[in-house]
């Protein structure tokens, strides 16, 4: 008969240390989410702001949204805008990270300083500069394009939806690229130089090294950064709202973030705005679920 060693007793201390963090998350995220869900089933307008009890309407808000053609236009517009911005940000950010790996120390520090300044600049301050650059009468962009022989004198970038979203894309990508570049560059520093040199000796070219060594090594980081970019670009608000205030057509340039704001603050339909917010949450989960499945599959394979 063999004696079996007793199992070590688990200390409750780690779980006790998690209690404050879990409580903070429940208060900061759980309560607002539950309140939002409840609000989406109510008629909550200006009258309720002045003390009238909200009326429970069940799924009426969601039924009204499903039959609202404008919501689907805004949703499609938001998805396209989100994916275009996320792809551009990832491509430029990863490209900069790969370039920084090849730069000398002095040049790399200079580039990183510029990226850090762009990333740290407040949104309102940076948008003020961008509005001046794309100003109809005094903008530098119109001046340079006109000097190049193109007919851009007096061109209104914000008045037309297509050029409005072009300006918004430039601004959002400019603000987002530094995060991707820094994160991916940090991951690239963990790639073994010996492994790359061995592959180079075996005849692997730059493309083959990227495809078979570098990208597989940093793939988990790329997946996480990609998920974050999709989430951030789908719920973008400040840049679109400020550009709309500067002269953009609200109806033709609304995304889900600004649409929710104008439903709630603009028209006082807080119940409908809450329903759109829940719809946006579900849409975010749907767009990021493929990435999450791939990440979970990778973790299972590693285990």
Handedness of CA 286, 265, 165, 120 (dihedral sign): negative
Q: Within its chain, how far is the Cα of 149 from the centroid?
A: 37
119's tokens = 């990333």
Using CA atoms, how far apart are residues 126 and 116, in angstroms rounded to an integer? 13
Q: Within its chain, how far is the Cα of 34 from the centroid?
A: 23
User: What are the pLDDT digits (tens) for 28-49?
Assistant: 888 788 888 888 888 887 777 7
The answer to whether 67 touches 284, Cβ cutoff 8 Å, is no
Is 60 exceeded by the pLDDT of residue 3?
no
What DSSP assignment string belongs to 140-180?
HHHHHHHHTT-S-TT--TTTSHHHHHHHHHHHHHHHHHHHH
Q: Which residues pair with residue 43 across a beta bridge? A: 55
| Domains identified in the chain and CATH numbers | 57-302 (1.10.3720.10)
Using CA atoms, how far apart are residues 303 and 282, in angstroms rounded to an integer? 30
**Ordered alpha helix ranges (H), the chain:** 13-25, 31-40, 46-49, 60-66, 69-102, 105-120, 123-133, 140-147, 161-188, 193-201, 206-209, 215-234, 238-245, 250-253, 256-261, 270-302
Q: Among 174, 176, 168, which Cα is nearest to 81's?
A: 168
Is 60 exceeded by the pLDDT of residue 6?
no
The answer to whether 65 touches 275, Cβ cutoff 8 Å, is yes
Distances (CA, A) of 11 to 6, 7, 19, 108: 15, 12, 14, 47
Q: How many residues does the chain have?
A: 303
Is 50 exceeded by the pLDDT of residue 107?
yes
Query: Which region holds residue 11: left if phi is over 0, alpha if psi is between -120 and 50, else beta?
Result: beta
User: What are the pLDDT digits (tens) for 195-212?
Assistant: 777 877 777 777 787 787
Please provide the average confidence, as pLDDT, over all residues in the chain. 85
Query: Which region holds residue 43: left if phi is over 0, alpha if psi is between -120 and 50, else beta?
Result: beta
What global pTM score does this model have?
0.83
Q: Among 177, 179, 162, 176, which Cα is nearest to 80's?
A: 162
Using CA atoms, how far apart are residues 249 and 208, in angstroms rounded to an integer? 47
Instruction: Give the pLDDT of residue 4.
Output: 55
Report, as an integer, the average pLDDT of 286-295.
80
Is 90 exceeded by the pLDDT of residue 218?
no
Is 90 exceeded by the pLDDT of residue 191?
no
Using CA atoms, how far apart are residues 234 and 240, in angstroms rounded to an integer? 12
Instruction: Give the pLDDT of residue 1.
Output: 47
Using CA atoms, how far apart are residues 248 and 63, in angstroms rounded to an integer? 30
Residue 5 — pLDDT band, cuts 50, 70, 90?
low
Is 50 exceeded by the pLDDT of residue 272?
yes
Residue 55 — pLDDT band, cuts 50, 70, 90?
confident
Which helix (H) or strand (E) covers residue 42, if one does? strand 42-43
Instruction: Give the pLDDT of residue 303.
Output: 58
User: What are the pLDDT digits (tens) for 226-263?
Assistant: 989 999 999 899 899 999 988 878 888 999 999 999 88
Phi and psi at residue 269, to the nearest 5°? -90, 75
């Amino acid at each position: 008969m063999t004696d079996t060693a007793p199992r070590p007793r688990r200390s409750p201390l780690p779980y006790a240390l998690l209690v404050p963090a879990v409580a903070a998350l429940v208060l900061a995220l759980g309560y607002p989410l539950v309140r939002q869900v409840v609000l989406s089933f109510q008629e909550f307008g200006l009258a309720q702001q002045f003390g009238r009890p909200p009326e429970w309407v069940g799924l009426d808000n969601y039924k009204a949204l499903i039959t609202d053609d404008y919501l689907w236009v805004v949703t499609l517009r938001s998805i396209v805008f989100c994916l275009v911005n996320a792809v551009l940000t990832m491509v430029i950010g990863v490209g900069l990270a790969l370039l920084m790996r090849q730069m000398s120390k002095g040049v790399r520090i200079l580039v990183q300083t510029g990226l850090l300044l762009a990333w740290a600049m407040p949104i309102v301050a940076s948008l003020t500069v961008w509005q001046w650059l794309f100003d109809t009468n005094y903008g530098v962009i119109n001046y340079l394009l006109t000097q190049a022989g193109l007919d851009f004198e007096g061109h209104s970038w914000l008045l037309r939806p297509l050029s409005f979203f072009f300006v918004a894309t430039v601004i959002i990508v400019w603000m987002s690229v530094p995060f991707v570049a820094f994160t991916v560059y940090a991951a690239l520093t963990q790639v073994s130089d010996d492994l790359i040199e061995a592959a180079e000796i075996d005849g692997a070219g730059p493309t083959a090294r990227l495809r078979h060594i570098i990208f597989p090594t940093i793939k988990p980081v790329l997946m996480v950064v990609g998920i974050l970019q999709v989430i951030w670009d789908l719920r973008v608000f400040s840049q679109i709202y400020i550009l709309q205030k500067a002269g953009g057509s609200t109806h033709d340039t609304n995304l889900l973030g600004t649409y929710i704001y104008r439903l709630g603050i603009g028209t006082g339909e807080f119940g409908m705005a809450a329903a759109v917010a829940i719809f946006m949450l579900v849409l975010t989960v749907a767009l990021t679920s493929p990435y999450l499945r791939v990440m979970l599959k990778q973790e299972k394979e590693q285990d």
